[in-house]
Amino acid sequence: MLGYKPKIFRLHSAICLDDMVPQDNFYRQVEAKLDLSFVRELVKDCYASCIGRPSVDPVVFFKLHLIMFFEGIRSERQLMEMVNLNLAHRWYIGYDLDEAVPDHSSLSKIRDRYDLEVFQRFFEHIVELCRQAGLVWGKELYFDGTRVRANASMDKVEPRLEIIAKQHLDTLFPDATPDTQEPEPIPPRRLLDKYNGQRFTSRQTHWYTRTTDTKVSITDPDATPMKHSNDDRAALGYHTHYVVDGGKSRIILAALVTPASIMDNTPMLDLERWVCFRWHLSPEMAVGDTKYGTVANIVGLEQDGIRAYLPTSDLGQRSGFYPSERFHYEAERDVYVCPQGEELPLKVRRKSEQVLPYIADAATCNACPLKPECTDSKSGRHIFRSFFQAYLDRAKSYRETEAYKKALRKRQVWVEPLFGEAKQWHEGRRFRLRGLEKVNVEGVMKAAGQNIKRLLKGKTWRKPLKPAGSAALRSPFQWVFCLP
């Protein structure tokens, strides 16, 4: 017999939402293990004390953002549609079956009201909870960065008019004195004011012109062109920087988003010093890849009492000539000796470039039979010794130790999986917000969510489900909680 089910709904008065959510539901575990009442103290200055209508509970606001993170949702409109249908989500934010959930537009207004400061303090509180749980080791720091596409297209890039106007004025008034004032010190939480993509140096000699110096996106002015790893074409994007603790839990101690024109190694020292100051850590080593192995980073870490486990590029192999390591330095006489036994004395001190040039005699060098393998300069071979060579030599000595090799092997599996986790499971391949401050809000909230996953790891609940792609392909009743 062919069955037929009519759509008839009755009014049920004896239904309780708490009874409809299983006891082993994921969000019950989050509610039991993570108390978010502290956020009311973070945002109390953003509201009037006794006037106006009651706002959306700040705890509800942050719970909605955690749902967005766990479920991999990109749209706030889609988030509220899912929360309206999902019983577990309604239970988690405390809205009964007959209560209207907040409108999606309210979330945007609340986010703009709170500003980046509140979200940064939320992230710091989560890290503090991880410290109290014994998940932060503090003896090793791992640095890395990844490229993330911006919510903007290269088709909307136009000439930067103010740059063109400045170049025109420089042509008309070539004797104008440039502004050489150094940038003022900034609070640690406002590092994005310093790393905003603009060149803050007073030097006027640049051998190249960046695309971001002459063009700007009218959709997202802070996003800058970058080359995506899987595509040869340029795209607008940002750099996400992580500082990760060396403990087994891999807690993210700092997260910063900068325009893509800021290299990975540029904010390293600021992040390291902020992490040490904020969390009262005394790390023994800082580990990064070759991009971080600059003279400034190595010297800064060594001066801070941290071993710089940073590989450096072998520039001697690129030139095709004898590397400087083939030349022996005699400290007592302050000279270099070449493989043929000729001396390279110190000639002129270049304080502005923080190097000491040692130059061979031109006549002797030109008559040497090994000159084609040593240099193509008619003035003789030049060796440049850094003012901070002692620090560089100390860092070089680490590279022969087993601890250094172990740290580099560990780095390969320590930070990159965190970026992969965010991109694969939490919609982190592309920012949904626009503007440097808003993408930092999105970045620190993703980092906080990843720390929360590790804070809750090891608790007793049913086996988590494996992500099945984007949130649009998942059932609204399916929850995602993955712990790589």
Per-residue pLDDT of 237-283, as tens digits, reads: 999 999 999 999 999 999 999 999 898 999 999 999 999 999 999 99
d(CA 278, CA 121): 11
pLDDT of residue 481: 38
Least confident of 12-26, 315-329, 412-426: 315-329
d(CA 50, CA 43): 15
* 190 or 456: which leads in pLDDT: 456
- Are residues 268 and 274 in contact, defined by beta-carbon separation less than 8 angstroms? no
Which 8-state DSSP code applies to residue 221?
T
Question: Pseudo-torsion of CA 284, 290, 292, 293, nearest 10°?
Answer: 70
Per-residue pLDDT of 112-166, as tens digits, reads: 999 899 999 999 999 999 999 999 999 999 999 999 999 998 888 877 766 556 6
Helix (H, G, I), strand (E, B) or coil at 330: strand
Per-residue pLDDT of 33-75, as tens digits, reads: 999 999 999 999 998 877 778 889 999 999 999 999 999 998 9
Helix (H, G, I), strand (E, B) or coil at 283: coil
Encoding tokens for residue 42? 């973070």
Q: What is the Cβ-side half-sphere exposure of residue 65, based on CA atoms within 13 angstroms?
A: 26
Angle between helices 104-132 and 436-456 (to 10 degrees): 50
Q: What pTM was computed for the model?
A: 0.84
* 296 or 202: which leads in pLDDT: 296
Per-residue pLDDT of 399-432, as tens digits, reads: 999 999 999 999 999 999 999 999 999 999 999 9
Q: How large is the C-alpha radius of gyration of the chain?
A: 28
- Are residues 481 and 465 in contact, defined by beta-carbon separation less than 8 angstroms? yes
Could you give the C-alpha distances from 314 to 263, 265, 319, 324, 385, in angstroms and in order? Answer: 19, 17, 9, 10, 15
